[in-house]
Amino acid sequence: MHLILFAPEILLIAGCLAVFAISLGVGRARLAAFVTLGTALAGLAACAATLVCRGDLFFHAYRVDLFSQLFKLFTMLGLVAVVVFGRQLKDIRADVRPEYFLFLLLGTFGLLTLVSSIELITLFIALELSSYALYLLVPLRQERSGLRVQMESAAKYVMFGIMATGVLLFGMSYLFGVAGSTYFRDLAPALARHWSDPAAVVGMTLVLAGLFFKLAAFPMQLWAPDVYQGASNETTAFIAAVPKIGAVAVLIRFLLCATPADHVLTAVLVIASVCSMFFGNLAALVQKDVKRMLGYSSIAHAGYVLVGLVTLHAGGYAAASFYIFGFVVMSLGAFLVLCLVSREGENVLVDDLAGLHARSPLAALLMGASMFALAGIPPFVGFMGKFLLLTEALRGGFVLLVVLAAINTAIGIYYYLNVVRVMYFSEPGDRPAVRLDALSAVTGVLLLAFMLLLGVLPARLLENTLTAIQAAVIWK
Amino acid sequence: MNVLVFNFSWPLLSTLVFLPLVGALILFLMRSDRAAKIWTLAVTLFNAALSLQLYTGFNAATAQYQFAEDLAWIPSLHIRYTLGVDGISLLLVLLTTLLMPLCVLCSWRAISVRVKEFLACILLMEAAMLGVFVALDFVLFYIFWEAMLIPMFLLIGVWGGPRKIYASVKFFLYTLAGSVLLPVAIIALYLHSTPHTFSIPALMGQPYSAALQAGLFLAFFVAFAIKVPMFPFHTWLPAAHVEAPTAGSVLLASVLLKMGAYGFLRFCLPMTPLGVVTFAPYVLALSVAGIIYGGLTALAQSDMKRLVAYSSVAHMGFVTLGIFVLNTRGVEGALLQMINHGITTGALFLCVGIIYERTHSRELSAATGIGRAMPAYVTALAFFGLSSFAFPGTNNFVGEFLVLAGSFAFSSKLAALAIPGVVLSAAYMLRMLQRMIWGGTNNPASSHLMDLNAREIITLVPLLLFVFWIGLLPAPFMNVFHVSVSHLLQQFHAGLHP
């Protein structure tokens, strides 16, 4: 076994243990934050260093390849950004702040192992590891007087999560029944032979439904707005962006096993995609709480990602992966600003952003760019991602789906534009200035640069993603 | 035939597009607002001077795309970074670069808050607008086309009039909603071309089926008709024009509106000729309706900016009329009319802006009888007004005459329907001129108004020069696009009989 292949994960485990040791003492939140940030940066470097490594570990249940490492890289990027701008944990009870970092690292560790798993049990354990750590982050928020909103959110998150897990396991049992093996490399040829068998279709559909929970796609999306609103800002920033990378990776792994697939599967994905887009965008139109609005909008973005997945083709998967990478950057850009605008970790209403251009020009610029990017306006990454998705879907012949996705872009623009309008056209009134510490400012500028760069020069990442996905086909 | 001519030693077009972007970035290093203004003026002037090389180096004897640049950009999708100008885009590029310094000058005193941001928006607009006209790759075109909305949205929304928020949001939503199907059409073109390409010249004359062409044309039409804007898609225009700051109005009227017409010429005619033939009667009907409706509505306005805005609807009706009669006179007239409208209407918005700076009102009734106090101003205004209703000897006369001649050749009934529009434009312009110059001489508010200062004279004189230059000697301008237009119509007719 080559240890280097497992280096990012090992670093994260070491970080977890260190933070656990720190959490045994009292009042060591700053130290825990420091260690977490160091671990995250080291992990990021390790992911970048192992980008071109290839190899199987743990009895071929765990694969390190360009595909997994690319997804890990963006997962770690997400973690670093969240730790940088959320490191003060304004709204987390002071006595549990080190534990918060512990769970954050554990959740990320789960996500890293998730994207490398090529065996059902390994995958399931990784998924649960990441889920349970994240469930615990939600109720750690401070209690508002007479309002236990964080508990309600946590309960909803856990309930929905457990239900999704059940569905997923049930589907996996069918797949196991069809293939007689839990390895993806056995699953793929067995499924290809058995598409006429309803058990294969039902099994795959149930697995997809279970994974839609992580992606917050219809019909497993109901938890998203409430959890986004109830969790503290940093938690939401993480939950909104990072686990979705893992979800897309696993979805692609499963769908790669399911090619050449059945039209039922395509129909399932199309319906999920259309319903996610319309539900997310229409519900987001009327939201006043920015986090809740982003919660609904993330459902719509899950729908866009599915537009790429319905093609059941490497090009479509590459477009979907590119889109989720871009989404992480855009989403973190928006949440960075929310975390800074929120003085004591309270939720931010759209009106609270009034006159942000005067209170902090950089924050307003970043938020504005994120909004335009999420809306899909060029030259930002959101546009390029959406354009790639539409191209691949149209290539696959999904004309109606593409037209509906285009119409959704027009619906979505309204609420994104509303945020920009409030920031730039309204007067700040007596709202206080927003202070950007240097580290957050640098992160913000980097996110802004990423948004522009990935939007204008996507070729490199796109081609690498495509190569990665073509190489990730397991049964060949 | 290779459609691209690489006839320049260095990337002139890229420089024109990206210099303003760089200028906008450097702007934020400036300490004082005054330095920022001078810097922006210098950048725009330099760009204008650079762009003159396009005219001097342009070979009018060919319909090829000149000053071309071509680089691989996103190879997996065959998206390339391709720039070039032909006779159709050359004058629009020059119009844009030459107007930008005037936009800076007219905002010299009118903009006093967030000056640097304002100037940055102006420079971003210049980059995006030039990009639209010189892009020869459809994805590149679309990026510039959409990216332009952001600075324009901010220009209207931050520095606009009392109802700026309503106007800017309406502008953004309307134009964006119009162009959401544009990428779908672009991708469809890509997937139905052999070999797959996003190159605009290569997408022309491909054998698309009639049904596909009809669908593509409709997707294009919605996007471009809203931008033009054609009746009945014009409702965003008066709001945006009235509330935008003077520079924003000038940019909207002079350049942005041309993009829709440019889209019709560049994409619809050569790529979807069957779609054009199918839908041309309806487009012509909307054009004539726009001419009459715009004229009648302008006649009823008491707000000067609103009057000029509605006159734009009528003038752009002439442009689309000229394009969709589909003969040489009509298309050449339309192209010339695009430039003319840019010059004349831009100048009229500048004139309204000058009055607004003095009286803080755009009401016609507040600006009556200023002839005595501001003789130089009303002289300029009168010339632009005459030009606006196509008085012989001015630029609009040549263009409108060509469009009407083309329309008569197409159908005398159609042309007869458009004629009242000419009379209407004389009526509303003369009404405005009469009120402002001679009406209500005892208006106490107007007696102590200052006449034009040197900066304002410098802003208006170049436009006045072009009004008469094109009016009396249009050949240097029209020679540029003769070959390109005839090539375009050849392509169009070839597409009809595959």
Give B89-130 as a 3 state SS string: HHHHHHHHHHHHHHHHHHCCCCCCCCHHHHHHHHHHHHHHHH
- How far is Cα of residue B479 from the mean position of the Cα atoms in its chain? 20
Residue B288's alpha-carbon distances to B31, B316, B324, B406, B419, in angstroms, are: 52, 10, 11, 14, 9
Question: pLDDT tier at B161 (50, 70, 90 boundaries)?
Answer: confident
Mean pLDDT computed over A127-136: 90
> How high does pLDDT run on average in chain B?
89
pLDDT in tens, B453-476: 888 899 999 999 999 999 999 988
Under 8 Å between Cβ of A302 and A275? no
A-B C-beta contacts closer than 8 Å: 78
CA nearest B182 in A: which residue? A406
Of the candidates A379, A414, A421, the beta carbon closest to that of B165 is on A421
Measured distance CA(B108)–CA(A14) in Å, rounded: 61
- What pLDDT sits at residue A145? 66
Q: What is the distance in angstroms between the Cα of A410 and the nearest Cα belonging to chain B? A: 5
Please, are residues B331 and B489 in contact by the beta-carbon 8 Å criterion?
Answer: yes
Q: Which of B165, B177, B311, B295 is nearest to B237 (CA)?
A: B311
The token pair that represents A476 in the structure block: 């060949």
Dist CA B456 CA B449 (whole Å): 14
Domain locations along chain B:
12-496
Q: Could you say which of A377, A388, A414 has the minimum Cβ distance to residue B150?
A: A377
| CA separation for the pair B297, A130 (Å, rounded) | 64
Q: Which of A376, A375, A387, A369 is nearest to A447 (CA)?
A: A369
Residues of A within 8 A of B157 (CB-CB) are 421, 424-425
Give the span between the Cα atoms of A111 and A133, in whole angstroms. Answer: 10
Contact A425 B172 (CB under 8 A): no
State whether B75 and A425 contact (CB < 8 Å).
Answer: no
Residue A476 belongs to some domain of the structure? no
Say yes or no to pLDDT of A476 above 50: no
Q: What is the pLDDT of residue A147?
A: 67
Task: Report the distance separating Cα A415 and Cα A395, nearest Å.
Answer: 30
The answer to whether the CB atoms of A394 and B187 lie below 8 A apart is yes
Residues of B in Cβ contact (< 8 Å) with A458: 74
Q: Taking a C-beta distance cutoff of 8 angstroms, is the pair B35, B98 a contact?
A: no
Record: contact A394-B154, CB cut-off 8 A? no
- For A459, the closest of B74, B153, B180 (CB atoms) is B74
Counting Cβ atoms within 10 Å, is residue B391 exposed (0-12), middle (13-18) or buried (19+)?
Answer: middle
Contact flag A413-B169 (C-beta cutoff 8 Å): no
Residue to mutate among B71, B113, B146, B164, with most A CBs inside 10 A, is B146
Q: For residue A323, give its domain range.
A: 3-471
In this predicted model, which residue has the larger pLDDT, A272 or B374? A272
* Residue of A406, A378, A211, A415 lying closest to A296 (CA atoms): A415
Residues of chain A positioned with their CB less than 8 A from the CB of B165: 421, 425
**Helical (H) or strand (E) element with B345:** helix B328-359
ipTM: 0.89
Q: Which residue of B has its CA nearest to A404?
A: B181
From the list B143, B176, B187, the residue facing A410 with the nearest CB is: B176
Q: In the 8-state DSSP scheme, what is residue B71?
A: E
User: Does residue B449 carry a pLDDT above 80?
Assistant: no
- Evaluate if residue A1 carries a pLDDT over 60: no
Per-residue pLDDT band at B48 (split at 50, 70, 90): very high
Domain count along chain A:
1
Whether residue A421 and residue B183 make contact (CB cut-off 8 A), yes or no, is no
Note the pLDDT tens digit of each residue in B209-267: 989 999 999 999 999 999 988 888 888 998 998 899 999 999 998 999 999 999 999 99
> How many CB atoms neighbour CB A429 within 10 A?
8
Among chain B, residues having any CB pair with chain A shorter than 8 Å are 73-77, 114, 139, 142-144, 146-147, 149-150, 153-154, 157-158, 164-165, 168-169, 172-173, 176-177, 180-181, 183-184, 187-188, 190-191
What's the pLDDT band for A221 if we cut at 50, 70, 90?
A: confident
Return the bridge partners of A349, or none: A289
Rounded distance, CA B470 to CA A314, Å? Answer: 56
Q: Per-residue pLDDT tens for B383-410?
A: 999 999 888 889 999 999 999 999 999 9
From chain B, pick out residues whose CB is under 8 angstroms from the CB of A383: 143, 146
Residues B184, A387: C-beta atoms closer than 8 Å: no
What's the CA gap between A400 and B2, in Å, rounded?
A: 37
* Identity of residue B274: L
Give the tens place of pLDDT for each residue, B73-108: 988 888 999 999 998 999 999 999 999 999 999 888
DSSP state letters, A397-418: T-HHHHHHHHHHHHHHHHHHHH
Interface test with A, best of B18, B25, B27, B77 (most A CBs within 10 A): B77
Burial classification of residue B427, based on how many CB atoms lie within 10 Å of its CB (0-12 exposed, 13-18 middle, 19 or more buried): middle
Least Cα separation, residue B231 to chain A (angstroms): 22
Interface of A with B (CB under 8 A): 357, 372, 377-379, 383, 387-388, 390-391, 394-395, 402-403, 406-407, 409-410, 413-414, 417, 420-421, 424-425, 458-459, 462-463, 466
Q: Is A165 helix (H, G, I), strand (E, B) or coil?
A: helix
In Å, how far is B154's CA from the nearest CA of chain A?
Answer: 8
Give the model confidence (pLDDT) of A363-386 as tens digits. 999 999 999 999 988 889 999 999
Least confident of A191-205, A285-299, B166-180: A191-205
Residue A249: pLDDT band with limits 50, 70, 90 = very high
Measured distance CA(A121)–CA(A9) in Å, rounded: 18
Q: How far is A292 from chain B (nearest CA, A)?
A: 22
Closest CA to A5 of A92, A59, A68: A68
Inter-chain residue contact B168 with A425, CB threshold 8 Å: yes
**Side chain identity, residue A375:** A
Cα–Cα dist A427/B121, whole Å: 20
Residue A475 has pLDDT above 60, yes or no: no
Task: Note the pLDDT tens digit of each residue in A392-444.
Answer: 999 988 989 999 999 998 898 889 999 999 998 888 888 888 888 888 899 99
Q: Residue B98's closest CA among B149, B46, B133?
A: B46
| Token pair listed for B449 | 């108004």
Phi, psi for B81 (deg, rounded to 5): -95, 95
CA distance B250 to chain A (A): 21
- Other Cβ atoms closer than 10 A to B127: 23
Chosen from B18, B21, B148, B172 to mutate, greatest number of chain A CBs within 10 A? B172
Q: Is the dihedral of CA A415, A416, A421, A422 positive or negative?
A: positive
A446 lies in some domain: yes
Q: Is the pLDDT of residue A257 over 60?
A: yes
- Inter-chain CB proximity A402 and B184 less than 8 Å: yes
Q: Residue B250: CB partners within 8 Å, gap ≥ 6? A: B99, B102, B103, B106, B346, B349, B350
**For residue A82, what are its two tokens?**
């969240």
Mean pLDDT of B5-9: 82
Mean pLDDT of all residues in chain A? 88
Mean pLDDT along residues B447-451: 76
**pLDDT over 90 at A447, yes or no:** yes
Q: pLDDT at position A50, please?
A: 85
DSSP annotation of A142 reads P
Per-residue pLDDT band at B361 (split at 50, 70, 90) = confident
| CB-count burial class (<10 Å; 0-12, 13-18, 19+) for A53 | middle
